[in-house]
Amino acid sequence: MNSKRNFLIILFLFSQDIFAENLFLNSPEPKNRLAVALQGQEQESLEAKKEVVTGILQAEKTIGKSVSLFATLPYTRLNESGEKKREHLNQQQIGLKLFFYLYDFGIIGGSNYSFATGKERLEIGSDKFGNIEFYGGLFYRSGAWAIFSVARWNSQLTPHLRERGGEQFEKTWYFDFWLSYTYHSIESILEVTRKVQYDPQLENLYSTIVAPGFLVHLEVMTFGVSAPITISRSYVPDGTLAHPETTFQRNDFDRSILLKAFKYF
């Protein structure tokens, strides 16, 4: 069976209010955050094995109560069977979050852009294409329960803002669902994301990830653990069903473990 283990530890610096938080998905609520992340990944397919370690710096600053700006700075080291170890800056990201309350609901919106600061030759991000993403959805809270659903549209992009000279941008839809129940200082969560990727050079690729987890809210910090699992996909990890190869789909995995510790300020 193909396998991947993903260990992610994030440290944030604090604010007083503790809201329902995310582990696998990105939190839609604007918050003042500083973060340091370490992510390790492993995936096996046929005779090949791939290990990825990424260090991430993240900062988020609110503008009022409903808007925040954030930046993410990842650095990746990759080791794959039969290849030399390589490392490089991954795609740096900046973004905007919007969150407005309407009666008992929250209106979620935002956008982010990932710069072409990777290196395709090393299979770490891209140095040819950036990525732009827009998203929107709804948030609802009732007592100890909280839920949100978000649709995200992501597309490759160049400085020309359009496809030129035979370029065809890779486009992806994400449909995210998150459910939370809090009992005293323990918060149980379930996160689900459905990915639908259109690649002009290949057939459409689909995958579904389910990530159960929980958080422990302490006085000085909050700790969480999540276990994302890919429960379905339209392709095998080393290629497509029609064209199996000993390669890996970008950002794909079978199962993982995420650990987080964070604060707000």
* Of 21, 7, 8, 39, the residue nearest 264 (C-alpha): 21
Give the position of tokens 């503008």: 63
What does CATH list as the number for 7-262?
2.40.160.40
DSSP H or E segment with residue 139: strand 130-142
pTM above threshold 0.75: yes
- Asked if 56 and 36 count as a contact pair (C-beta separation under 8 A), the reply is yes
Tally Cβ neighbours within 10 Å of residue 7: 14
Round to whole Å and give the CA distance between 236 and 241. Answer: 6
Per-residue model confidence as pLDDT tens for the chain (265 residues): 444 445 444 444 333 344 456 777 778 889 888 777 787 777 777 667 778 888 888 889 999 989 999 999 999 988 887 788 999 999 999 999 999 988 889 999 999 999 999 998 888 888 888 999 999 999 998 889 999 999 999 998 886 666 666 677 888 999 999 999 999 889 999 999 999 988 666 667 888 989 999 988 887 777 888 888 888 877 665 555 555 554 566 677 777 878 887 777 8
Q: What is the distance between the alpha carbons of residues 15 and 199, in angstroms, rounded to a whole number?
A: 42
Q: Is 62 helix (H, G, I), strand (E, B) or coil?
A: strand
- Spell out the domain ranges in the chain: 7-262
Task: Tell me the residue type at 59.
Answer: A
